[in-house]
Chain A
Amino acid sequence: MKARVTVTLKSGILDPQGKAIEGALKSLGVDGVASVRQGKVFDIELAATDKAKAEAALKAAADKLLANTVIENYRVELL
């Protein structure tokens, strides 16, 4: 089973990397960019075939390691 965990910064957390990318996009002349926030995507292959078990494993992975929940949110998707 394939899955994707997306980790994003919580709103209100300063994201200097996103700001730098936003500036670069503007200087490249890409129109209409209001703001950029950078995050991370993890594509994970699971041995499990049970959906509920897979989701539980992904949640555990995100809580224990993939995301720092002090500053980040995460979203789990089974593909």
Chain B
Amino acid sequence: MKSAVLVFPGINRERDMARALKLASGNETAMVWHAETSLPKGTDLVVVPGGFSYGDYLRCGAIAARAPVMDAVRDFAARGGLVLGVCNGFQILCESGLLPGVLMRNAGLKFICRDVHMRVERSDTPFTRGYNAGQVIRVPVAHGEGNYEADEETLKRLEGDGRVLYRYCSPEGVVDEASNLNGAAHSIAGIVNERGNVLGMMPHPENHVEEIMGCTDGRGLFAGLVQQFERAA
């Protein structure tokens, strides 16, 4: 699997992401600067990492979403290429129009930095292939604006089409108000676009991939992506 990680000024999780991708795929990851107008040839997966692009000025992800490289990402996604956005990356994908909805200020107004539990809603997608449907995984979050909101019609479509892939839950896998840390609509932690090739999620699976991190629950996502390309090959 050949992956490309986008780099914007103010992004700070790109190295973690590249490390997790290399661990899963065995390949070096291309780091792609925001001013580029094309992606490296043969790219299988584009990752928009987390951080604070442009200092979160205007709205989180708003300025990065208009960077030159995003036109290349839009073309790539339109051709069916896989795109993963994590945290600020999710915000950037929403701002760029690749995903519906918006990430609002956390309902409790506080920046939240801790481990959360997520339920994997289905396992038959490139982004969840490494897990079982209903499996509960523990991954860290670190965000002030992770409260996913969309209009009723969009939420209905997301649910109806099974496009909510990850949902905040209790350690036992129960989706309730108490486990919905940021107030997101329908406890949404991660969604895909209509075609199913663009995933945005707030939690950081790349930070739970090695024993030294205290948990390896994030590995499944990357292993699943690698499997996807082995199947295709």
Contact = CB atoms under 8 A, between A and B. Distances in A.
B150 A20 contact: no
Given A14-B107, A17-B105, A17-B109, A68 B149 contact: no
Given A14-B104, A14-B149, A70-B101, A64 B109 contact: no
Interface in A45-79: 64-66, 68, 70-71
Interface residues of A, number: 11
A79 to B, nearest CB: 21
Nearest to A64: B66
B32 interface: no
A78 B100 CA distance: 32
Contacts of A13: 104, 149
A39 interface: no
A16 B107 contact: yes
Contacts of B105: 16-17
SS class of chain B's interface: helix, strand, loop or mixed? loop
B98 to A, nearest CB: 13
B104 to A, nearest CB: 7
Contacts, number: 33
A20 B110 CA distance: 11
A13 B185 CA distance: 12
A70 B104 CA distance: 11
* Residue of B101, B105, B106 contacting most chain A CB atoms (<10 Å): B105
A71 B105 CA distance: 12
B149 A71 contact: yes
Contacts of B151: 70
Given A13-B149, A14-B107, A68 B66 contact: no
Interface in B182-225: 183
Given A13-B149, A16-B109, A20-B109, A70 B102 contact: yes
A64 B59 CA distance: 13
Given A13-B149, A14-B107, A16-B109, A65 B66 contact: yes
A14 B185 CA distance: 11
Contacts of B14: none
Contacts of B58: 65-66
B151 to A, nearest CB: 8
Q: 4 closest Cβ contacts across the A-B interface?
A: A16-B105, A70-B102, A16-B109, A71-B102
Interface of B: 58-59, 62-63, 66, 95, 100-102, 104-109, 149-151, 183
Interface of A: 13-14, 16-17, 20, 64-66, 68, 70-71
Given A16-B106, A17-B109, 11 more contacts: A13-B149, A14-B104, A14-B107, A14-B183, A16-B105, A16-B109, A65-B66, A68-B62, A68-B95, A70-B102, A71-B149
